[in-house]
Amino acid sequence: MATFYEKYGGEETVAKVVDYFYELVLADDTVNHFFANTDMEKQRKHQTKFISFALGGPNQYSGQSMAKAHEGMNLQPVHFDAIVKHLHAALAHFGVSEEDIDDALTKVGSLRDDILYK
């Protein structure tokens, strides 16, 4: 069975999803301040590799652990939920089925404890 990553066109599609995702995130005052001093080009590339891996693509992700990457940010459930909502919207925008979105968001949800309250 094809992985989610293969089914929807690999890294090229994931990159488009990530670009759209960050458009939504940066327009959202709940979470956009976390990216005020972020090199968004670098962040997009990094996130594309991470999401590709999370969706069954090759592991090119060499970044920090989730806990380390979010250290000192003190992210709260409202922030995590906003990010998940935007990821859902971005995946849906590119024609990903609800079933596949649910699978992807379950994987993202499994990282919740590594991201919140750090």
Regions of the chain with pLDDT less than 70: none
Instruction: Indicate whether this model's pTM tops 0.85.
Output: yes
In terms of phi and psi (left: phi > 0; alpha: psi -120 to 50; beta: otherwise), the region of 50 is alpha
Structure tokens at 37: 């001093």
* Closest to 91 measured CA to CA, from 77, 107, 76: 107
pLDDT the model gives residue 103: 87
pLDDT the model gives residue 52: 86
**CA–CA dist 115, 81 (Å, integer):** 12
Is residue 70 annotated as involved in ligand binding?
Answer: yes
Q: Are 108 and 87 in contact (CB under 8 A)?
A: yes
Q: All domains of the chain, ordered by start, with CATH?
A: 4-115 (1.10.490.10)
**CA–CA dist 65, 85 (Å, integer):** 22
